[in-house]
């Protein structure tokens, strides 16, 4: 069987599936792929960025099984002037609520962008307030709990305004715009995802 591999830039406010839901855009509105191809993992409706589409179940298992601990990098625009203390707390792990249980996130890499990263315009744009800064943080995690990044920034006092998954392993959305798709060969994508 021939496998298909795609990296897409999932736009904001698009469901991570091909099926329809009343009043909401889905992947099928943007991407034309064979009918047995599906997204690996999820990216929230209100998040954007890198998503892998494939019909390779082995890849799905390797990316989603927590024991493999693949690094995923998120670019997060937050509300308020982020402190060094907040960055340190994020990097050391913070308590978040997962299904009614308090869970302490694993240590991760957290950095404040010194200059805003170059990212596509979002439609609709974030709510902008002149008097309140909206800096960007880079977070590289090796776990992926439900809405984890949003819960983490909220836990240190800086709610997420915009969330972009930029990278998984060495695979990135560099050069892609929301709604863009790039096809890969198996070895090429596996090397990007799994080669140290």
Structural contact between residues 7 and 176, judged by C-beta atoms closer than 8 angstroms: yes
For residue 21, what are the contacts with CB-CB under 8 A and spacing of at least 6? 15
Tokens standing for residue 190? 């596996």
CA angle (144 as vertex; 125, 71 as ends), nearest 5: 95
Rounded to whole angstroms, how far apart are CA atoms 14 and 28? 10
For residue 22, what are the contacts with CB-CB under 8 A and spacing of at least 6? none
C-alpha distances in angstroms, 159 versus 59, 62, 73, 86, 101? 33, 31, 18, 12, 20
Beta strand 38-40 pairing with 25-26: unpaired
Q: Is 121 a catalytic residue?
A: no
Q: Which residue has the tokens 């744009």?
A: 125
From the candidates 29, 44, 46, 121, which is the catalytic residue?
Answer: 44
Rounded to whole angstroms, how far apart are CA atoms 9 and 113? 21
Residues tagged active-site: 44
């Amino acid at each position: 069987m021939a496998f298909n591999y795609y990296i897409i830039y999932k736009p904001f406010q698009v469901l991570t599936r091909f099926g329809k839901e009343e009043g909401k855009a889905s992947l099928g509105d943007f991407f034309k792929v064979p009918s047995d191809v599906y997204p690996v993992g999820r990216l929230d409706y209100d998040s954007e960025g890198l998503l892998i589409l494939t019909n390779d179940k082995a890849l799905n298992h390797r990316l989603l099984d927590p024991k493999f601990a693949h690094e995923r990098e998120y670019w997060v625009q937050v509300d308020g002037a982020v402190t060094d203390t907040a960055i340190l707390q994020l990097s050391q792990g913070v308590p978040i609520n997962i299904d009614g249980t308090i869970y302490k996130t694993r240590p991760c890499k957290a950095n404040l962008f010194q200059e805003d990263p170059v990212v596509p315009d979002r439609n609709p744009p974030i709510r902008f307030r002149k008097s309140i800064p909206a800096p960007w943080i880079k977070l590289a995690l090796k776990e992926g709990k439900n809405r984890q990044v949003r819960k983490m920034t909220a836990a240190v006092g800086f709610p997420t305004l915009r969330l972009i998954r930029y990278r998984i392993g060495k695979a990135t959305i560099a050069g892609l715009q929301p709604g863009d798709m790039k096809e890969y060969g198996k070895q090429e994508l596996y090397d990007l995802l799994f080669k140290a």
